[in-house]
Structure 1
Amino acid sequence: MDPIQSLIKDLADEHGRRRESVLPIMQGVIEREKYLSERSMIEIAREIDIPAADVYGTATFYSFLETKPTGKFIIRVCKTITCAMKGKNQVLFAIQDMLKIKLGDTTPDKQFTLLETNCLGWCHKAPAMLINDDIYTELTPEKVREILSSYMKENVNH
């Protein structure tokens, strides 16, 4: 049994082998593998005994279930109307300019992936973004450059 099969079997043992177990199993795979590969989605389908299309449909429906490899730091910029009205586009341009990537891309060194996401729940302090599990609010292009610089420095020191 390869590592992916073993991981999914363990997660299925923990969460059960019912249709409603798919999401917690996917989250467990992402926690360990950082994304859901085609292979892992097929294994989940096999283990739960549901069509692979159902697993893929679930994975692509939810914002935080990535189906392609991501960088070490996933930047998720909120795309709600509130964030847009408060300057989300300028923040996005600042990130793209600093990292030299477009929305949906990962930096060549595999450190940063830039994504947009639905509401992060911080409309009262818009615009907002999440870097992995850390929330940043009331963003400006200057503030974003400062935040990203600290992640780049942290990365150099490790």
Structure 2
Amino acid sequence: MIRRHFLLPLLAMTSTVCAAPLSGLSAADVNGPAAVAPLEKPQPPAKLIVDPPLAGPLSKGAVFIQYRAENLRIEPVFGPDALKVTPRIGHIHVVVDDAPWHWAETSGEPVILVGLPAGKHKVTIILADPTHKPIDHKTVEFTVPPHAAVHHF
């Protein structure tokens, strides 16, 4: 009983002391700067870095292509207003074997392809701004081995 009467006032006093330094601070003061902000000055050019497919999965018929962008964040945000923020945001387009179609990707995760037939292939990754205008691109070429079994992940 004595413990409870002693701990409750102590807890109340401690929480008041700990909360006091945050009073009067804005959300930006506590959380830091916003993830994106209005563009105020030119940004350095965006650059795309693409690695060759990972050898282990490729030997089994799966293509894992890792990439990253410098001076650009991969985000699912589109339209001309998205050009007015910093850091720059965009996405990638992926083209397989010069196909007449492609897809847009916004996850920032590796590009994964399964089910390609054995033989030579190429994948072009295009870094694009929120209006789909190409900024940079890289092409990787690789061979899916004939003995590679097709895996469905």
| TM > 0.5 fold call | no
Greater helix fraction, Structure 1 or Structure 2: 1
Greater strand fraction, Structure 1 or Structure 2: 2
TM norm structure 2? 0.27
TM norm structure 1? 0.26
Structure number with larger C-alpha Rg:
2
